[in-house]
Structures are given as structure tokens and as C-alpha cells.
Amino acid sequence: MQKYPFIPFKRALLNPSARGGLAGKALTSNVYSRVPSGGKTSAAVALILLLGLVSLLADTVYEGGRSVSGPLLEALSAPAIAAGTVAAGEALAYAARPLGGLLASMLGPRGPWAVTFLGYAITATAIPLLALAPTWREATLLYLAERLGKGLRAPARDSIIAGARGSLGAGKAFAIHEALDQVGAVAGPLIVAWLLTALGWRGLLALAVPGALSLAALLAAYFYASMRGLEPVSRGKRPDLRGVALLGFAGAALLAPWPVLSYHYAQVGAEAVAVFYAVAMAVDAGAAIASGLLVDRLGLKGLAPYPLLAAAATAMLALPPTREALLLAALLWGMAMGFLEAGFKAGVALLEGGSPRAYGVFGLSVGLGSGAAGLALSRAMGEPLLVASYIALTALLLAYSLMRSRHS
């Protein structure tokens, strides 16, 4: 085994035969090389599973902590503006993504790993510390810090997943990761509910355990990649960031955000909304796998079901709020989100190769698209003509984006 597993790109160019033709691939893709062909798939699967475990554990921490943000702030006698500030932290998460992607690109081959570790470390620290927050001000800052950490790590982590795909395929790689991610998203709130029942707010300190385990799993993933010689190869040509931005914005803009859907169906009852949201998360995981398989087999054509699913989910805003309609909306929304979280990210890898910068731009664009959808549809809900007009406009924008990407 070599002492330094990350071989400089220049050395591989000078001796391509020693790296299985790495030089020929380096100018056109961002893949993990240096693994013998017979072991590429097994190595990719193992690394993706490790990264999925990282997200599962981290999601347990931050989804658990965020699920009780309102009650915690209320317990600390926070004013309403504090809750609004925490909610606005989602914008901070999206705004930080280009910065995270840029940092990961600037720091060299180990940059994506370093930025990913930094982001997960912030989450693993900030959420458990909520148990010790003396006032609502500190709690608000900790929630905002967690969103900053998520924004920084997301593009760096996605670039690692895109590169680690090897012969597995980008679609399957993101699908596996998203499925494991959703396990943590469901488990986190349930664990926190039990902790609060048993220990009160001090029970949030126990989230330091899955937080520490997520960092340990991330270190294991890094050392596994090093030992197996999974070296990220940088893309040689200038990325089409405009195409990536348009794809992310148009894709997110077509789908109604869950807060808007849940507001429209609030008359059904908070308990039903919460249960159907859990249903949507479970469907999300299954749809992510399906979308990944389709993109690996068909390329960007594999995203064809998404416009239909997203448009149908958004169209549910035009119907009267009933329990049956909410269930259908949750099913459609969950399927569409699976495509957006896995299929579209795999599409970015096909288009651009999977650089941190590209995923940073994609993440910001998704946030802007979702924000635009929220503002527009909050005015259109309950008005079939307005909802239909919005769907038509955003569907045309997405169709243009996909056609542009296929010919770029």
C-alpha cells in the first residue's frame, strides 16, 4: 500500500498506464479512479453506504432538534420574531452553498472532505448545545449555526458522492444516500420525542451521541477512500453553471413547497398533516431509488416523470382541503421530492461531472426556486386558474432547461 494515497494529478498524466488510463478520463469526468475494474462497484457501494450512514446519523441530530424548535423557543420565552428568524435560517442554508462549493474547490483534492467534515461538526455541536442555551438568543444563534453548517457541507458532500459513483452510476449513488438520509429524518423527531418525555429539554444533550458517531463514520469513509485509492479527478473544462442553475431553479419552482401545501390543508388537522408528511418522507426514499435507476439507464430522459409528478402535486392546491386530497398530495409530493433530491443531483453529475462549485450553484438555485414557488403559490392556492397558469409557466421553463441541458 502506498504511503500517500492521494496521487497528484500530474503524476497520473505522465504515467497513464499505471493508473488504468486515468489521464484519458481526467479531462472529461469527475470519477473516482485507481480501483481495479473488478472492485470498482463494490468499493463505490461501500463508500456510498458509509456516507449514507453519516447523513442518517446527522439527520437524526438536526431533524430531531429542528422538530422542536418552536416549543423550545416558547419555553425560553422567545418573542415571535425569534421563531421567524429560525425559519428564515433555511435561506442561510441555501445562501451558504455556493460558499461551501467554492471553499471545497479551492482547498484541493482533500477540500470536499475538509468542508464536509466542518459542516457536519457544526451540526453535531450546535444542536446538542441547545440543551444548555440559557436564553432564546443563544438558542436562535445555535439553530442558525446548524443551518450554516448544512449549507457549507451539502455541495462538498454531493461532489464526493458524484465522484464516488464509479461504475455504480450517479443515480444509484444519490438514491442510496437519499434513502438512508430519510431514515434519519424520520428517526430524529421520534427519538427527540422520547428524550423529552424521559429527560425534558436536557435530553437534547443525548443527541451528541449520534452527532459524534456521524463524524466517526465520516472519518471512516475518508480513510476507506484513501486506502482503496478512490481519488477524485477534477473536471478539465469550464462547468456550465448557468445550465445547472436553471435546472435547479426550474425544477424546484414547479413543485409547491410543503409548508404551502400543509397550510392549504390545515383544516384537516395538525395530526393528519404530520402523519401524511411522514408518509411523504417514506415515499421520497422509494422514489429516490426509482429516479436514480432511471437516470443511470436513460440519462436526463430519466427525469421525464418529474414534471408530471410535480405539476400534479402543485395542482392539489386548487382542490378543496380534504383528508383524501391531502393523502394524494403527500404521495405525489413525496415522489416528486425523491426525483429532485436524487435524480436531479445525478443529472448535475452527468452534465458537469460533479464539482463542488456546481453543487453549490445547484443548491442555491433550488432554494431560490422553492422560495419563488412559495411566494407565488401562497397567493394562488384555492384559485384553480391561477394555479394552472403557474404550473404551465414553470413547466415550460423546466422543459426549456432540460432541452438546453441535453444539447449543451
Q: Compute the C-alpha angle 232/60/104, nearest 5°.
A: 25
Q: Are residues 63 and 186 in the same domain?
A: yes
Amino acid 29: pLDDT: 39
- Count: domains in the chain: 2
User: What does the pLDDT look like over 95-136, one tens digit per residue?
Assistant: 899 999 899 888 888 889 999 999 999 999 999 999 999 999
Same domain, 169 and 246: no
C-alpha cell at 64: 430531531
Question: Which cell numbers hold the place of 392?
Answer: 404551465
Q: In terms of domains, do 331 and 374 share one?
A: yes
Q: pLDDT tens, 300-356?
A: 899 999 999 999 999 999 999 899 999 999 999 999 999 999 999 988 888 877 788
**pLDDT-based confidence at 167, cuts 50/70/90?**
low
Would you say residue 19 lies in a domain?
A: no
On whether the pTM is more than 0.95, the answer is no
Render pLDDT for 125-139 as a digit per residue (tens, 0 to 9): 999 999 999 999 999
Instruction: Specify whether 185 is located in the same domain as 253.
Output: no
Paired strand residues for 32? 232
| pLDDT score recorded for residue 402 | 86
Q: What is the pLDDT of residues 4-17, one digit of tens each?
A: 343 343 343 334 33
Residues 166 and 192 occupy one common structural domain:
yes
**Same domain, yes or no: 156 and 289:** no
Rounded to whole angstroms, how far apart are CA atoms 110 and 242? 26
Domain endpoint, select from 230, 259, 291: 230
Name the packing angle between helices 111-129 and 208-227 (round to 10°): 170
Query: How far is the first Cα of the chain from the last one, in angstroms, to the nearest whole number?
Result: 41
| Whether the Cβ atoms of residue 282 and residue 186 lie closer than 8 Å to each other | yes
Within-domain flag for 13: no
Strands (E), 159-277: 231-232
pLDDT for position 236:
41
Could you give the residue ranges of the DSSP H alpha helices within 15-130? 22-26, 40-67, 69-75, 80-106, 111-129
Examine the pLDDT at 149 and tell me if it is beyond 80: yes
The 10s digit of each residue's pLDDT in 211-233 is: 999 999 999 999 998 887 665 54
Residue 294 has pLDDT above 60, yes or no: yes
Please tell me whether residues 256 and 286 are part of one structural domain.
yes
- Give the model confidence (pLDDT) of 175-214 as tens digits: 889 889 988 888 888 898 899 888 999 999 999 999 999 9
Local confidence band at 290 (pLDDT 50, 70, 90 cut-offs): very high
Dig out the grid coordinates for 395 from the structure: 413547466
Q: Is pLDDT above 60 for 38?
A: no
What is the span of the domain harbouring residue 253? 241-406
Query: Which three cell numbers mark 224?
Result: 476507506
Mean pLDDT of the chain: 83
Q: Do 186 and 297 have their domain in common? A: no
pLDDT confidence band for 239 (50 / 70 / 90): low
Check whether residue 253 and residue 385 sit in a common domain: yes
C-alpha cell of residue 191:
427519538
Domain with residue 73: its CATH number is: 1.20.1250.20
